[in-house]
Structure 1
Amino acid sequence: MADGATDEVIRVAGLGKSYVTAAGPFPALKGVDLTIRRGEYVAVMGPSGSGKSTFMNLLGCLDTPTMGDYFLVGRNVAHLPADELARLRNRTIGFVFQGFNLLPRMSLEDNVALPLVYAHVEREPRRERARAMLSKVGLEGYALSLPARISGGQQQRVAIARALINSPSLILADEPTGNLDSHTSEEIMALFRELNDEGITVVLVTHEHDIADHAKRQVRFLDGLIVRDEPTPRREAAPC
């Protein structure tokens, strides 16, 4: 099924992942069922070892399951060949990581445009698109700067611009505020909310409850299973 023919961006059924260890197979994920529809904003939570990071790696097509099915925008990608999986990942998913993952010797413009290089887009259209994305995240005028010359919050905005460059169906964010102070974290989360309000599906991993509260839905993992899946309680407005 082609992208756009379904409102299910993510559907996993019986999804599991085991790793080989010296003590034998270790089931990090034990048969998970979950659907995330277009335009949702979901926080994935859980303690260390709960399976949430394994789950996000599978969602991002960075790893393959040992059992079950994963439908990404209607296509079962659980067992696609690596090259086909990489092409689908590049055009469908935008990644935002805790560590920004910017290349220090490349300008911000070139960092943002990097996914378009892999998509074989010509240089001038790449530059135009990258500058537009930098403007979208409030960094117009910074295109020729290097990552070391801007703040951590600005670097994360560059990472978000890079994630948006291919107009993805899905943004996956792994602890996107982990290296930021509380004020900057709020600014980044406000940007994610704006993107979600525009219709982009956002799934983020976080261990911080105040960050998870920005999402509209919270999914909690424990021991390789989903133990909670519910809408985020709305905060009461402070009295005047």
Structure 2
Amino acid sequence: MTESAPPLIEVANLGKDYPTGAGVFRALDDVSLRIAVGEFVAIMGASGSGKSTFMNLLGCLDRTTRGSYHLDGQDVGRLSSDQLAALRNREIGFVFQGFNLLPKLTSLDNVALPLMYAGMGREARRRQAQAMLDRVGLGERSHHTPLQLSGGQQQRVAIARALATRPRIIFADEPTGNLDSETSRQVMDLFNQFNRKEGITLVLVTHEADMAAYARRRIRFHDGRVIEDVVTEGVPA
């Protein structure tokens, strides 16, 4: 990122505390960093290091205790719950380890769901959802429910859903954690293509070094603090 380019994500002295029976647990402590438009960043660290807490804050799923967070120039800490929900729907897509698909809905309807929340008409959202399923190679599975799909196919539906609203940033939390190695590679190749060819900013939370190798920047957490922030070559699309 050049000095003149405004960051998509900027956090300064970020902190997050949780009350416990033994006192206050400091999950994040004095984190400051920037992520530019189009970056592919891997967030790493052991269990309890703060990486998932950090993703939840960046994804506007939780609020900070201290410090500031600006997303695309907006001070997230000043937004109401309704404004945060609108920001998530407009700017952010999520992919999780457990897929989080609604079991009774078809692939098409799962992908169309965020478009419905965005206020898009039924026919338009179904066309856009079908187009996204085509792009992840599941166009012929649009009328299958999650139980009729493999784990890798379910994750591709989840990726199509995350991309349906054409967000600027995707947060992926251990997206290959429930997949075998070959299917994991296919999913990561898909992420890599959307990042490198379309410039979608991607923040990947993972504990797997071979998955983090796809990213071109690696940030490692330990005890709620950033202990490593390095630029890497990544895997070509």
TM over 0.5: yes
% same residue = 59
Structure-2 residue corresponding to 1:99: 98
Structure-1 residue corresponding to 2:219: 219
CA RMSD of aligned residues (A): 1.3
Instruction: Give the CA deviation at 1:7.
Output: 4.1
Structure-2 residue corresponding to 1:141: 140
Structure-1 residue corresponding to 2:114: 115
Say if 1:93 and 1:169, in contact at 8 Å, map to a contact too: yes
Structure-1 residue corresponding to 2:81: 82
Say if 1:68 and 1:78, in contact at 8 Å, map to a contact too: no
Structure-2 residue corresponding to 1:26: 25
TM-score computed with the length of structure 1 as normaliser: 0.94
> CA 1:58 to 1:124, structure 2 compared with 1: closer, same or farther past 3 Å?
same
Say if 2:215 and 2:234, in contact at 8 Å, map to a contact too: no
Say if 2:50 and 2:224, in contact at 8 Å, map to a contact too: yes
Structure-1 residue corresponding to 2:65: 66
Q: How many correspondences in the alignment?
A: 231
Q: 2 CA distance for matches of 1:79 and 1:152?
A: 39
Instruction: Give the CA deviation at 1:79.
Output: 3.4
Q: 1 CA distance for matches of 2:155 and 2:66?
A: 34
Say if 1:6 and 1:74, in contact at 8 Å, map to a contact too: no
Structure-1 residue corresponding to 2:131: 132
Structure-1 residue corresponding to 2:40: 41
Larger CA deviation: 163-172 vs 20-29: 20-29
Q: 2 CA distance for matches of 1:118 and 1:107?
A: 17
Say if 1:64 and 1:79, in contact at 8 Å, map to a contact too: no
TM-score computed with the length of structure 2 as normaliser: 0.95
Give CA-to-partner distance per residue, 1:106-141, whole Å, 9 cap, x none.
010000011011111110001000000000101112
Larger CA deviation: 19-28 vs 34-43: 19-28
Are 2:175 and 1:176 aligned? Answer: yes
Instruction: Give the CA deviation at 1:99.
Output: 0.4
Moved over 6 A (4+): none
> CA 1:6 to 1:165, structure 2 compared with 1: closer, same or farther past 3 Å?
farther
Instruction: Give the CA deviation at 1:6.
Output: 6.0
Instruction: Give the CA deviation at 1:60.
Output: 0.6
- Where structure 2 has 5 or more consecutive residues not aligned to the other structure, the ranges are none
Q: 2 CA distance for matches of 1:7 and 1:182?
A: 37
Structure-2 residue corresponding to 1:238: none
Structure-1 residue corresponding to 2:195: 196
> CA 1:191 to 1:207, structure 2 compared with 1: closer, same or farther past 3 Å?
same
Structure-1 residue corresponding to 2:161: 162
Instruction: Give the CA deviation at 1:143.
Output: 1.2
Q: 1 CA distance for matches of 2:234 and 2:150?
A: 31
Say if 2:214 and 2:234, in contact at 8 Å, map to a contact too: no
Q: 2 CA distance for matches of 1:162 and 1:17?
A: 29
SS at match of 2:103: coil
Instruction: Give the CA deviation at 1:78.
Output: 2.1
Give CA-to-partner distance per residue, 1:133-178, whole Å, 9 cap, x none.
0001011121111111111101000000000011101000000000
Read off the aligned partner of 1:185 and give its amino acid letter. Answer: S
Q: 1 CA distance for matches of 2:219 and 2:97?
A: 20
Q: 2 CA distance for matches of 1:7 and 1:108?
A: 37
Instruction: Give the CA deviation at 1:232.
Output: 2.2
